[in-house]
Chain A
Amino acid sequence: MRGLRESLIELIRRTSAEIPDDVQRGILRGLEQEKEGTIAKSALEIIEKNIELAKRKSQPLCQDTGSILFYVDCPVGLNQFEFEAEARDAVLEATKRGFLRQNSVDSITGKNDGTNLGPGSPNMHFHQHATDEIQVRLMLKGGGCENVGAQFSLPNTALKANRDLDGCRKVILEAVHQAQGKGCGPGILGVCIGGDRASGYEFSKREFLRMLDDRNPDPKLNELEQDILKTANELGIGPMGFGGKTTLLGVKIGAANRVPASYFVSISYMCWAFRRHGASLAQDGTISDWLY
């Protein structure tokens, strides 16, 4: 796996500087919808210009290069210690080259040692699968959008949300309303219905690995996704919370089993600067294919 470190540096560079095509298509659709002469339109025009500029200059789309989340699908027998060590070296080098901000702070001392390395950073998720291929996905999730994530425990009396899909709909729309302005909209939602407090959020983030324009294979969840997307875009929140038609670009909902006593709805919010890419790796660790 001699090529692994360079591949991971390139994955970090690309994720930080180049918005995935599926997301850019969503932003362009939003741009067409907004009325000429509004600040919503001008916000999306600046966003579009920013996307082009970041790609051309190979520099971060957003200065908050976020939590560094690696998702690795690997065959049985992959040495995860070695892989993680290479990922840490790649993060250190990508930080030196300015693809990542010095973004990791010791929570107790408040020290930022400028390396982006420490407990939980980078965050590695390994999953074995039954093929020989290694697929590595990376998400860089900024703090502004992470801060507006929300978790509800149903029933919720104030929102009249019961333990059913209508109750889920109510709390998800409430989260959209609460996030306005703060999470750099237009946003994308990743939602998990069920699970425990930790797995709920973990599964909600995994929804961001789906393509933005795919359809949920579960008809009920597909219906809920489309309903929330349409309804949220009727609320008049708009890009940056300036007012307008483009509040969300997509909604992705999954489900996990729960214990009878719990009914969590966990909502992760992703900003328009939706940074995720992925690659398939050849046996020597070089990139054989891009996934988004």
Chain B
Amino acid sequence: MTHHLTSPVSEEAIRELKVGDQVLISGVVFTGRDAVHKYLHEGGELPSGVNLEGGIIYHCGPVVLKDENDEWKVVAAGPTTSIREEPYQGDIMKHFGVRGVIGKGGMADKTLAACKDHGAVYLHAIGGAAQVLAECIVRVRNVYMLEEFGSPEAIWELEVNEFPAVVTMDSLGESLHKDVRSQSEEALADRR
């Protein structure tokens, strides 16, 4: 089934989502990837203006250009591989009150446990679909840490409308990635 999520989002709304559900996300999301996760996990402070309470982090390094009016314009913005944030993600979710993470490829046990304890989900966007997803970005509200981390690794505050994703890890401890991995492992064992 398809859910409409508006970010910031409540724990209650997140706890209703199940693996396999399709969601359309509207509201504000913050990009954050390798450099940001490492920085926050090492005790770095969120720049003033960034509030992740009830928020959604998007694992994404967009292509962003300035248009003729000197406004930022997102040219391409698909998800990056999430598993690299596995050492940090669960702690960051809990510490900053994050309710959702958008990425690709899924994450592992530590994040899955944090989703269950804290009430959060992993939202899988379609990797490589940078144009379809950029079309869902209505506006760039702000950018933080651009100088320190460079454009792909900066925190971009994006306003999105009906951004499509699939719940692949939910707050009940279920993970589509775990299921597909074990099923394909069995299928491979039969064919070795």
| Interface set, chain B 67-107, CB cutoff 8 A to A | 75-78, 80-81, 83, 104-106
Determine whether B51 belongs to the interface, using a CB cutoff of 8 Å to chain A. Answer: no
Determine whether A150 belongs to the interface, using a CB cutoff of 8 Å to chain B. Answer: no
Chain A residue at minimal CB-CB distance from B179: A243
Inter-chain CA distance A61–B124, complex, in Å, is 18
Chain A residue at minimal CB-CB distance from B183: A236
Determine whether B153 belongs to the interface, using a CB cutoff of 8 Å to chain A. Answer: yes
How many A-B residue pairs have C-beta atoms within 8 angstroms? Tell me: 158
Q: Identify which of A103, A143, A242 gathers the most chain B CB atoms within 10 Å of its CB.
A: A242
The segment from A48-56, A75-83, A277-285 that touches chain B is A48-56
Beta-carbon contact of A63 and B81 below 8 Å: no
Beta-carbon contact of B129 and A57 below 8 Å: no
The segment from A85-93, A179-187, A218-226, A255-263 that touches chain B is A179-187
Chain B, interface residues (CB within 8 Å), range: 35 or more
With a cutoff of 8 Å between Cβ atoms, the chain A residues found around residue B32 in the complex are none
Beta-carbon contact of A63 and B191 below 8 Å: no
Determine whether B126 belongs to the interface, using a CB cutoff of 8 Å to chain A. Answer: yes
Beta-carbon contact of A182 and B130 below 8 Å: no
Determine whether A211 belongs to the interface, using a CB cutoff of 8 Å to chain B. Answer: no
Inter-chain CA distance A64–B128, complex, in Å, is 8
Chain A residue at minimal CB-CB distance from B192: A170
Do A180 and B80 form a contact, CB below 8 Å, given A170-B192, A240-B124?
no
Do A241 and B128 form a contact, CB below 8 Å, given A63-B63, A181-B177?
no
Determine whether B164 belongs to the interface, using a CB cutoff of 8 Å to chain A. Answer: yes
Beta-carbon contact of A60 and B181 below 8 Å: no
Beta-carbon contact of B180 and A65 below 8 Å: no
Beta-carbon contact of B81 and A243 below 8 Å: no
Chain B residue at minimal CB-CB distance from A60: B76
Inter-chain CA distance A3–B155, complex, in Å, is 39
With a cutoff of 8 Å between Cβ atoms, the chain A residues found around residue B127 in the complex are 62, 144, 184, 240, 271
Beta-carbon contact of A50 and B130 below 8 Å: yes
Beta-carbon contact of A98 and B176 below 8 Å: no
Inter-chain CA distance A47–B60, complex, in Å, is 17
Determine whether A288 belongs to the interface, using a CB cutoff of 8 Å to chain B. Answer: no
| Interface set, chain B 142-157, CB cutoff 8 A to A | 149-153
The interface of chain B, by Cβ under 8 A from chain A, is 20, 22, 35, 60-63, 65, 75-78, 80-81, 83, 104-106, 124, 126-132, 134-135, 149-153, 164, 166, 168, 176-177, 179-181, 183-185, 187-188, 191-192
Inter-chain CA distance A147–B61, complex, in Å, is 16
Determine whether A102 belongs to the interface, using a CB cutoff of 8 Å to chain B. Answer: yes
Inter-chain CA distance A46–B150, complex, in Å, is 29
Do A39 and B152 form a contact, CB below 8 Å, given A60-B75, A101-B76, A241-B105?
no
Beta-carbon contact of A271 and B183 below 8 Å: no
Beta-carbon contact of B81 and A238 below 8 Å: no
Inter-chain CA distance A111–B148, complex, in Å, is 8
Beta-carbon contact of A62 and B180 below 8 Å: no
Inter-chain CA distance A291–B76, complex, in Å, is 26
Determine whether A68 belongs to the interface, using a CB cutoff of 8 Å to chain B. Answer: no
Determine whether A120 belongs to the interface, using a CB cutoff of 8 Å to chain B. Answer: no
Beta-carbon contact of B128 and A173 below 8 Å: no
B11 to chain A, nearest CB (A): 25
Inter-chain CA distance A172–B184, complex, in Å, is 15
With a cutoff of 8 Å between Cβ atoms, the chain B residues found around residue A170 in the complex are 192
With a cutoff of 8 Å between Cβ atoms, the chain A residues found around residue B134 in the complex are 59, 63
